[in-house]
Chains A and B, each alone.
Chain A
Amino acid sequence: MSDSLLPTGGPDPYDGWDLEGMLSGANVWLPDGMRPVAGTLSALRAAPTRVELAGEASARAAFRQVMRANGTGSGRPGRGAVDGHTLILPAQGAGDGSRGVARPRHSHRRPPRRGRWQPKALAGAALGVAAVAIVGGVALAGGFSAAGGHPGQPAHSASAAGSATASGHSGSNGLDGTASKAPTAHPSSSHSNEQQSGDGTDSPAALCRQYLAFFTHGSQPDPAAESGTKRQLSELAGGSRHIVSYCVHLQQPWALTPKGPESDLDGPGPFSSGDSQGGPGPGGPQDSPGNDQSSDGHSGNGPGLGGGAGNGRSGNNSGSGNQNQQ
């Protein structure tokens, strides 16, 4: 008779209670046939062998490493685990019993928030606008020698920097850009007065030139004239905030002359004070002590003039970079 046949007669020896008892190791009654099985299960529960405990040192080392990397707790080794390869650091907050709160180095890093007007972003935007305005001012100051050649407008001999530019493009612009005065970026009061006292109706280009000359040099030879210019330009541009963009847009053909207006400047540029904000541009000096305050390690691509406009992301640089206009 094969032992694979079910026992005939009597209750099934594997009722639920016996099964649970045998699996849980309880001392229950078992039929003879199941006693070797119970012995086998008991052998599975036997004390650990040396091999099964051989990896404790490795497990401890992995534990310390992972816990240290997690920053949770101190990953401090126990008394029996000190070896020559383990640097034991003091537990943070061990004195007051509090657990160290060091954060993981890489986990739970928040993604950069977007769409929030943070102070750094605002400062960067302001710097960017100022840089664009000043670049535009320099461009206009350099290119306005021909600006006076707008139809119906006299050419101004005292224009800042664009005499050579204007003369080189007189044909294409249909202007008589024969400026005789040496190029200078400094507006003179006579220049302003001349414009104001022309035919009584200043052109937008002339107004822009006056405004940007004031803006560029920061001088106020005639505050009344300046305020009048501002007022007129504000009306033309649709608001005082749009004056710069209005003037830049108005004079764009001159600003895009092949010979850059900056190259004709002989005076100190608007960034020559050395305390200008913004790190060096990509082409700027490498040794300037740009102090990039961004925490994520972006290099300081500030709106430096010499290297071109920096990218707008890094407008929060506050380093004092040298400008290569000096």
Chain B
Amino acid sequence: MVGDDFDGVLADAQAGDDDQFAVLWRDANPALIRYLRVLAPENAEDIAAETWVHVVRGLPRFIGDEAAWRAWLFTTARRRLIDQVRLRKRHPAEPLEDVSAADMPRSPDAAQTALDNIATESAIALLSQLPAPQAEVILLRVVAGLDTDAVAELLDKTPGNVRVMAHRGLKKLEDLLGRAGVTSRAGVTL
């Protein structure tokens, strides 16, 4: 979170100061990437870049506080995500069946990512196993930092519905972790 400086940072970014825009970007892009990597792991970076372009285009007209800013950013990302899903349905990508694993390009970023934050990667991998609505609610609450009402508005659901989905998602997460042997529920013998 940018915090108390958000208004000034936003105003300068709206005036075209890319240093201040970078403050916003550094604050929000990791969360955006994590959100998208769970819901669209194949092209999360592409959708994130597209999201930022849309956000920058509308930045001069944006009015609101930091919570509204993050809600707007993730709303934009979600729309881009839906567009990508529709596009992929119309134009499915060809599977790379004839390319062996040895021939697949290896990015140094993949290894670096694993070394940088194994826990985060593991958490993203774990959330990817949840049903998408539950994972999305948890990500918007935890990663994007939105409150229940904002998530409900973003997903066009009621706050109660959002709480139920979050609850179910957390329980599912607990179940997955338990199956993986990470922990055991108190009072329950595995």
Chain B 73-105, CB-CB to A under 8 Å as 1, else 0, gives 000000000000000000000000000000000
Q: Which of B29, B59, B142, B182 has the largest number of chain A CB atoms within 10 A?
A: B142
**Contact status B148-A20, CB under 8 Å:** yes
Known: A3-B184, A40-B123. A23 touches B190 (CB 8 A): no
B10 interface residue, CB < 8 Å from A?
Answer: no
B39 interface residue, CB < 8 Å from A?
Answer: no
- Binding stretch for chain B, among A50-58, A125-133, A213-221: A50-58
Report chain B residues within 8 Å CB of A46.
117, 119-120
**Contact status A44-B109, CB under 8 Å:** no
Whole-angstrom distance between the Cβ of B129 and the nearest chain A Cβ: 11
**Contact status A55-B29, CB under 8 Å:** yes
**Contact status B167-A19, CB under 8 Å:** yes
Q: Which of A66, A80, A91 has the largest number of chain B CB atoms within 10 A?
A: A66
Report chain B residues within 8 Å CB of A39.
119
**Contact status A73-B170, CB under 8 Å:** no
**Contact status B174-A33, CB under 8 Å:** yes
Interface residues on A, range: 35 or more
**Contact status A53-B29, CB under 8 Å:** yes
A48 interface residue, CB < 8 Å from B?
Answer: yes
Chain A 27-69, CB-CB to B under 8 Å as 1, else 0, gives 0000111111101110111111111111110111011101100
A301 interface residue, CB < 8 Å from B?
Answer: no
A231 interface residue, CB < 8 Å from B?
Answer: no
**Contact status B163-A16, CB under 8 Å:** yes
**CB neighbors of A among B23-62 (8 A):** 25-26, 29-30, 33-34, 45, 48-49, 52-53, 56-57, 59-60
**CB neighbors of A among B137-184 (8 A):** 138-139, 141-143, 147-148, 163, 166-167, 170-171, 173-175, 177-179, 182-184
Known: A34-B174, A78-B19. A67 touches B45 (CB 8 A): no
Q: Which of B30, B112, B124, B179 has the largest number of chain A CB atoms within 10 A?
A: B30
* Docked complex Cα distance between A36 and B185 (Å): 10
**Contact status A48-B177, CB under 8 Å:** no
A317 interface residue, CB < 8 Å from B?
Answer: no
Report chain A residues within 8 Å CB of B53.
62, 66
Report chain B residues within 8 Å CB of A43.
117, 119-120, 122-123
